[in-house]
Structure 1
Amino acid sequence: MTPRPAADVAQIEQIVDTFFAAFVSGPESTARLDALRSLFIPEAVIVATCGQPPRVYDVDGFIAPRAELLTSGALEDFTEWKEAGRTDVFGDIAHWFGSYGKAGTHNGADAGGRGMKSMQLIRTPEGWRISAAAWDDEREGLTIED
């Protein structure tokens, strides 16, 4: 396999970092979510599984309910972060796969946990962008091995 160009990996890691940084409640939530939108191609597909039937979103359908949660006050002291991950690059396509954590409260109840996310990226004239993302969270019978 061709070596991963360091500049490409750095750009992709920055996209992944910006993605996770968008999910923080409090001041600047709107600005972080606006930055999130710019990470995707307009036709991107985002899918959540989490032990339920898949929920498939377009970019706006993914961001809108999260913006409501992060700005409504129902989600407090919330943050999401990447833990460990791997970036693979071949030409104009790339993939990031890794674990993440989240913590906070939603209407007074714990909103913490861990999961795995998969992001496919493509090189566009504007730079690397997410073309697809999917995630699944830990639950009874499904845990991330440390």
Structure 2
Amino acid sequence: MKSGSNAAIDKVISRFFGVFDNRAGRVPEAQAFGMLFASNATIATHSGRGVQITTPDEFVRPRIELLTSGRLVEFHEWETQSENEILGSLAVRRSRYEKSGRLDGQPYAGVGTKFFQLAQIDEAWRIVSLAWIDDAAFGSRQT
């Protein structure tokens, strides 16, 4: 493992969660999100409709719209636990996270798990795939 890899990966993941923060007048930007990913990256999201696989741009566009529309306010996500496994220029990170805000005037919150696969490309860690599920999608808390 290269020295500093954990810290560098922590920074990428922190930036990922930071994109979805509209507290105190922050304005989320799709460009900041896209810069975290390698070309041809994919995102798999599990919901009540099953698994949807999208590009980072397809994934972030409707979320940025929701975060800037005034419907979802004072929203943010944050990591509560994480574990990295790094092998050379490849890494896997398991993240537990929470989210909180107000959707259409009502409290909105949740918890879940995200699995990041990362690669060190041109000396920078980039997300090559992301799979995620909210605990509510399957009715129980995972640890």
Q: Structure 2-normalised TM-score?
A: 0.90
Paired amino acid for 1:19: F
Contact kept, 8 Å, 1:50 with 1:138, in 2: the verdict is no
Flag structure 2 segments of 5+ consecutive residues without an equivalent: none
Deviations 1:22-43 (A, max 9, x none): 1112533234x43221100121
How far did residue 54 of structure 1 move? 0.4
Question: What is the distance in 2 between the residues matched to 1:12 and 1:67?
Answer: 23
Q: Which residue of 2 aligns with 1:84?
A: 81
Question: What is the distance in 2 between the residues matched to 1:30 and 1:50?
Answer: 23
Paired amino acid for 2:50: P
1:59 and 2:65 correspond: no
Paired amino acid for 2:139: G
Flag structure 1 segments of 5+ consecutive residues without an equivalent: none
How far did residue 126 of structure 1 move? 4.8
Find 2:109's aligned residue among 97, 108, 112.
Answer: 112
How far did residue 144 of structure 1 move? 2.9
Question: What is the distance in 2 between the residues matched to 1:57 and 1:124?
Answer: 21
- Give RMSD over aligned pairs: 1.6
Contact kept, 8 Å, 2:92 with 2:116, in 1: the verdict is yes
How far did residue 110 of structure 1 move? 2.8
Q: Which residue of 2 aligns with 1:44?
A: 41
How far did residue 111 of structure 1 move? 1.9
SS in 1 for 2:65: helix
How far did residue 109 of structure 1 move? 2.8
Q: Which residue of 2 aligns with 1:29?
A: 27
Paired amino acid for 1:22: V
Question: What is the distance in 2 between the residues matched to 1:89 and 1:113?
Answer: 28
Question: What is the distance in 2 between the residues matched to 1:66 and 1:96?
Answer: 23
Contact kept, 8 Å, 1:51 with 1:136, in 2: the verdict is no
* Change in 2 beyond 3 A, CA 1:95/1:40: same
Q: Which residue of 1 aligns with 2:142?
A: 144
Question: What is the distance in 2 between the residues matched to 1:102 and 1:61?
Answer: 21
Q: Which residue of 1 aligns with 2:92?
A: 95
SS in 1 for 2:4: helix
How far did residue 116 of structure 1 move? 0.4
Paired amino acid for 1:29: V
Q: Structure 1-normalised TM-score?
A: 0.88
Question: What is the distance in 2 between the residues matched to 1:142 and 1:50?
Answer: 14
SS in 1 for 2:58: helix
Paired amino acid for 1:25: N
